Structure 1
């Protein structure tokens, strides 16, 4: 029987890789993003088994109304088996110069978005009696504060890990597992922007920052979105049905805990 998953922030980067990996493993995927055109393009390009039709939807993850509408619609029409809260943003600035407006934006998407979407998904699963799975995208920056120029991002990702544990504890009685993945230095459009920002802040070059990231990673390469996607696929699989409340490090050894 085909299972259905909703993925947020899946119009590019890690989210797109998660969508593609799960589609390859016979999931029916609902690609969501605040950029509806990007979500539609990703959904159209996904591999599909016979009878499986991938879909897309516009979703502002910080809107409870948007999240509830998507979760209930998917539950009623397709059955909601899993939800991946992946949408995220980042800005780089020194702590002393960080504007509160940027902090608010970061928290709205990275933390409030996980809360809002997780609540909507869990309510839909409980209503339908589905013992589903939720996976949140955190970061190795959610396990250590030693990350320059990203104080608001660090705070948001620490929050995601704590929220994941709280959700797992309360939703366990409904048979719903909740875990998060903690990527490291991932080659995505978001990281490309960060390379430029960090180079300016450090008085270096993007290539210099990239080389530093590789030196910090024992496996000696930058992480690919597919590395994260395969870990998400595991946490959504039957092999992980007795794992909940975990923050899985997927970073090539760049941070070990």
Structure 2
């Protein structure tokens, strides 16, 4: 196996990094010396993220269009990045949500949620792992799960819960098999994160409960012992730890980053 390169020469791919948590992860890793390949199904959003990173394109940051449900495209991307720049870490962050009562979730919504949130992690995880094995890289893979990966007591998100429970189990399975190649695999489990996705969820839950977005938001803060909404940066700092040398002997873990909203 090859030895770990210095942080200034490390390259990480982040999926779903055109906005929200993914953009925060890309920003934090760039600030800590990583070269970041920002990917998103929204190519313009990915390019905007790169433009805002420390040093921008001059530091070697890149953007690329990636549909995480396209395993062949993920493989091409992983191989290209590894052969040109080296690939030391991959963050599977892309995800979606939609709120609806369990009995009203359509088969199409269920399938789309699992395709992006779970199948996307599976296919991109395969691409990253195969490339790291081929190049003999002792790399790190981090998957974005959710507080909803550890409890089903989450209203109106049954398809999302199913997908994120799957991510947690997949993370453990990946970690167990890839340990032989010294590739660590972990996931982060955020809580109530203030993002554009959360803004939509506030509207949806308010509609479904007869409340208001402000009332729903207050209930989320009240459910969080640290008494505030989580920021994308809170998640990003946890990811930065999991891809760092400090976490080289941590694998198969689901790190709760939720201000105490769910404790296990």
TM-score by length of 1: 0.99
CA contact (8 A) 1:24 1:48 kept: no
Separation in 1 of the partners of 2:19 and 2:56? 22
Q: How does 1:1-257 map to 2 (within 5 A)?
A: 1=6, 2-48=9-55, 52-257=59-264
Separation in 1 of the partners of 2:158 and 2:200? 17
CA contact (8 A) 2:11 2:87 kept: yes
Q: After superposition, what is the alpha-carbon deviation per residue over 1:197-250, rounded to whole angstroms, capped at 9, x for unaligned?
A: 000000000000000000000000000000000000000000000000000000
Q: Which structure 1 segments of 5+ residues have no match?
A: none
> Which SS does the other structure have where 1:16 is aligned?
helix
Question: How many residue pairs were aligned?
Answer: 257
Q: Which structure 2 segments of 5+ residues have no match?
A: 1-5
> Which SS does the other structure have where 1:160 is aligned?
helix
> Which SS does the other structure have where 1:182 is aligned?
strand
How many angstroms does 1:50 deviate by? 10
CA contact (8 A) 2:13 2:36 kept: yes
The 4+ residue runs of structure 1 with deviation greater than 3 A are none
Change (3 A) 1:147 1:225: same
CA contact (8 A) 2:187 2:255 kept: yes
Q: Please tell me the root mean square deviation across aligned C-alpha atoms, in Å.
A: 1.0
Change (3 A) 1:205 1:49: closer
CA contact (8 A) 1:26 1:49 kept: no
How many angstroms does 1:52 deviate by? 2.4
